[in-house]
Structure formats: structure tokens, C-alpha cells
Amino acid sequence: MKATYLSALVLAVVSSTNCGLFAQSRELNVAGLKVGAEGRPDSMNAKVMQVIDGNRMLVGIEDSRTADGDYDTWIMLRCPTAGITDDKVWKGADWKAVIGSGYLKVTGTVTYVTAIGGSKTVFTAEGLSPAESAKREAEDKQWREKEKMLADQKREEERKLADRKREEERKLADRKREEERKLADRKREEENLKREEAQRIAEDAKWRQWKIGEEEAFAGKFIQFNGDGVNILRRDTNQSTAFKMAALTKEDQQWVKDEIQRRRDRFIGRWRIIDEKGATAFYLTITKSLQAQKSHAPTATGKCELIGDEARITWSDKWRDLLRPHNSSVQKVAFSPTTSWDDPPANVQRAVKESDDPAPKPKVKRR
């Protein structure tokens, strides 16, 4: 049968040209078959349809990426066929073991008469010579190195671009947070201004008429409550005078109690202390029991005392702070351990009350 097939075979080599690189990656696939094409057949599976003679065999090929076992594209492969039988199959990585080269070149076409009397034209192909294969390997190595370099450059550019994008997003987020913080500060400042205005009005109202026993009523300002007595600054003498609580009228006694509560409410809560650059220095908290804490020295405990319009805090680390109204805001005035209340302060910073609750409950995220 092979003799009959060979006697009917009419060779018609059309052309044999070398068109150089088939593709930048030198991959030769089924769709890229044409005279002059060459490359690595790594994506082609193959099956021997018929061994023709010692140097030729009819081979069916298919794209390994869409393989279905049909091998419906045939080529005439020129290579030694010793030890090869019909129906032998191999994958793309095994071409070198079959043809002696990792590269396949389409050299032309051949027409033959089929078993049913028709004719069919197929491509003829062969492996590159050892010298050509070595040259192509060297070129491919250079190309792969260049591709790797370009890929590395691309990844580096993408990384830098991603870094710049993240940095821009971070700066944008920082600006947004800063704007929100400033807006919140302005809002709190406005609220504080309103509160201070109300306090100023209340301050004016502190100069009131006091009646002590049978003495003539006098104008005075409440300074401090001391257990069972009060200190009142007399307007006529500009001196502080102590009186027993029981000596006051019931109306004055009630007024003193309300004033003590108002002053407590003014200072109890969480305060943000702001440095000269506008940044948060620390948080100061005064509890309802007039105990104090500071975030930058959490182990230090403080005891608060209300003197006039000031909240004076004595800390366990020997520092002293006071909160006092100043114009339309509140100041935090610090005194070092070796100084007294009457000495120059170590620093003066702005205080903004953030919450009336000294221990606000943490917000729970909804799932």
C-alpha cells in the first residue's frame, strides 16, 4: 500500500524562502503556517498519519490550546523517521526530540493524490540545522532578556505610578481630614463663642446683692465654696470675705448651689489641648468627681479644684494646670513642679472642649 501511495505522489514544491523572524516571540502555530514561516512549534501537538520513507512523514497537527484530538491540519515533515511509526503523537515540548531542532521552518508545499483519487496540497516543513538553531537560540535568548527588561521596566513604572497614586490619595485624604478637622474646630469655636457670650452675661449677673444677717445689703461676687462657707468678693472694698453658708438667705444659698453646679458643668468633660502650631498636644479629662487625667501622661492622676472661674488641677507628677476663660476661648496654663500658681507659667495653650461627657461610649460599627 505504501508503494502504491508513493507511486501516486506527485511532488510540486512551489517555493522555498526564508522570511526571517516569523514573530517577535518566534512561536510558530497552526494559524501562522505559511511558506517561509519559522519558529518554535511549542503550541502545536502532532500525530504521525503515515511514515512515507526514511526522511519524510505525513503529520497531523493541532493547536495545543484548543486541542480536540482531530489533528486536521496536515504537513509533510522532512526529518529522519527511523524508529517512528504511524500514529505516534507528541506535544509541543517534544518537537526537538523528534526532528532534532527546537525550531520548525515551512519550506514550501507538496501536492499528493489521496487514497480516494483526489489531490491535496500541504505545507512541507523541516527543522533548522544545528547552526541555524544555535543562532535562533541566541537571538531568542537576547529577545527574552529584552522582553524581561521591558517587563521589569513596565512593572517598575506601574509600581511608581501606583505609589504616586497612593501618595496622591493619601495627601487628598489628609487634606480632607484636615479640612474636616478645621471645620469641626470652627464649629466648636462658634459653639464656644456662644457659650462664652452666655457665660459673659452670666458673669455680669454674678455681681448681685447679698444680704448677711442684719447687715445692710452689699454688691458682691461669689468666689468659692469652702465646705460650710463661701468667699464673696465685695465690690465696695474689692476684698474677699468669708461667710458661713447658714448666714446667707435661703435665696442666696440656692443661688450658690446653682452656681457651683454651673461651674462644675463648665469644666467637666473632655478637652483637646492645642499647641502653638495648631496640632493636638494631648487630651485632658475632668470627671464628675473632679478627678483629672491627661493622655500624654496616663499614669499621672490629678485633682481638680474650682477657684473663681478657673479649674485648678494638681497632678501626682507635681505639675499643675489650670483652665481659665480668655477672651472668647479657654486657655490651659501649665506650671512646672518647682513653681507655684503665682509664678510665670511653663506654657500656655488653647483648650477646646470636645465633649461634656468625660467618658464617651465608643461608637459601635454596624455590620
The string of pLDDT tens digits covering residues 322-333 is 999 887 789 999
- For the CA atoms of 359, 365, 366, 367, the dihedral, rounded to the nearest 10 degrees, stands at -140
68 and 32, same structural domain? yes
Residue 361 lies in a domain: no
253 and 274, same structural domain? no
25 and 117, same structural domain? yes
In the chain, the number of structural domains is 4
Residue 347 lies in a domain: yes
94 and 9, same structural domain? yes
Dihedral of alpha carbons 190, 191, 193, 194, sign: positive
105 and 15, same structural domain? yes
Residue 360 CA: distances (Å) to CA of 165, 260, 263, 287, 355: 37, 23, 20, 11, 8
Residue 362 lies in a domain: no
Residue 80 lies in a domain: yes
**Predicted local confidence at residue 281, as pLDDT:** 94
272 and 226, same structural domain? no
Residue 304 lies in a domain: yes
Residue 163 lies in a domain: no
Task: Report d(CA 122, CA 77) in Å as an integer.
Answer: 10
Least confident of 140-154, 165-179, 218-232, 297-311: 218-232
Spatial CB neighbours of 233, under 8 Å, sequence gap ≥ 6: 220, 221, 223, 239, 240, 241
101 and 215, same structural domain? no
* pLDDT at 13 exceeding the cut of 90: no
What pTM was estimated for this model as a whole? 0.42
| pLDDT single digits (tens) 120-141 | 999 999 999 999 988 988 888 8
| pLDDT single digits (tens) 252-300 | 889 888 888 888 898 999 999 999 999 999 999 999 999 999 999 999 9
Task: Report d(CA 354, CA 97) in Å as an integer.
Answer: 80
What mean pLDDT do residues 69-74 have? 90
What mean pLDDT do residues 153-179 have? 93
292 and 232, same structural domain? no
Domain at 345, CATH number: 2.40.128
Residue 86 lies in a domain: yes
Q: Structural domain of residue 44, as residue ranges?
A: 2-131
114 and 19, same structural domain? yes
- Strands 302-307, 119-127: pairing is unpaired
Domain at 217, CATH number: 2.30.30
175 and 89, same structural domain? no
**Predicted local confidence at residue 361, as pLDDT:** 52
Residue 143 lies in a domain: no
247 and 277, same structural domain? no
What mean pLDDT do residues 171-196 have? 89
114 and 53, same structural domain? yes
What mean pLDDT do residues 216-227 have? 82
* pLDDT at 12 exceeding the cut of 60: no
| pLDDT single digits (tens) 19-55 | 333 334 578 999 989 999 999 999 999 999 999 999 9
